[in-house]
Amino acid sequence: MELAALDQVELQVSAEDSQTIWELSQRAAELSGAATTDLGDLLLDLPAAVRGPLLAFASGASPSGFLLVRGLHVGDLPATPTQHGAQALEAHGTSGTLTLVADLLGSLIGYEDEKNGALIHEVHPVRGEETRIENSGAVAFDFHTENVHHPLRPDFLGLLCLRQDHQGIAATRVASVREAEKLLTDREREILQSVRFQSAYPTSFSRNIAGPRPTTGLHPVLFGRSPQSFMRFNSHNTVATDPEGKAALDALSRALETVCNDVVLAPGDLILVDNHVAAHGRSSFTPCYDGNDRWLRRCYSLRSIPRWAEQMMGDSRVVPELTRISGLF
């Protein structure tokens, strides 16, 4: 793999390739629920100028942990939803785009515990939830790796912009642990690699759980060996069991802030994040609830699902609920 391909952080899609991808996406959208193997011909027909960089990114060797793809079609759009569970784009071409990209990186997946197993998530403000630390909110959302509590966390996530916020200032924030760890001391890295941290379930997984949110067992925040370092961290949900661990988490947060890339997505921009390398977040914005609010669509991709988990899945793309699998790890 060429180093230049691994270092690439932005890919501008040509008008011709964008049209080809849109046509393939519309065909993929018509095959809703199809397995990755059923989309093989469409995946092979993706333009080489796009497929190559995506496959390079899928290797997991990117130092930055993200790839920004610009110039995709988003098609005709209805008003931005204002409620949970909106299905205004059920068979839309952008569903096909995200499916093809996720299946090229790995396999498009959802989680039975989250959004009823939806494979494509609508990211937009919901009235009355502006201060929630999840995709229905509008306040700043600090650095986190997705589904930090889960033993089968996604390897990649994608965020496709359909509409910007009214002010055009809401940024998707991405920060790589491979860059941030250079700012940590040897002792801070040692602490973050030790098994002394716990993570609470995110609110998107615990809306229907009575009482306090469940927490994971003890786990490290950093793992692997530099320069191939990895991270399991949510600034809102991951806590230390001792003061030294808390100080190390604070140092990691500061380091991530220092190396952060603030990306203001425009319609047709798709940002892909390596969920084990980069934490991501969102700056604040002001929703208007006029049908033109900020609207992204999110997908998850997993490179490999254990066979036992596959056999427990009622849907070939939906990971079983945690109550059925948490004791197996």
Helical axes 48-58 vs 15-29, angle rounded to 10°: 70
Cβ atoms 118, 109 nearer than 8 A: no
Residue 129 has a pLDDT of 72
Residue 133 has a pLDDT of 62
Assigned architecture for domain 3-323: 4-Layer Sandwich (3.60)
Distance, in Å, from the CA atom of 33 to the CA atom of 179, rounded to the nearest integer, reads: 38
- What is the rounded average pLDDT of the residues 220-244? 95
9-51 pLDDT, tens digit each: 999 999 999 999 999 999 999 997 788 888 999 999 999 999 9
Residue 322 has a pLDDT of 84
Residue 137 has a pLDDT of 63
Instruction: List the beta bridge partners of residue 197.
Output: 219, 240
Residue 275 has a pLDDT of 98
Alpha helices in 157-300 (DSSP H): 177-180, 186-192, 243-259
Looking at the whole model, is its pTM more than 0.85? yes
Mean pLDDT for the chain? 90
Nearest 10 degrees: Cα torsion 268, 270, 271, 275: 150
Q: Indicate the domain borders of the chain.
A: 3-323
Alpha helices in 167-272 (DSSP H): 177-180, 186-192, 243-259
Q: DSSP string spanning 104-118?
A: HHSEEEEETTSGGG-
Is the pLDDT confidence value at 207 over 80? no
* Band of residue 92 on the pLDDT scale cut at 50, 70, 90: very high
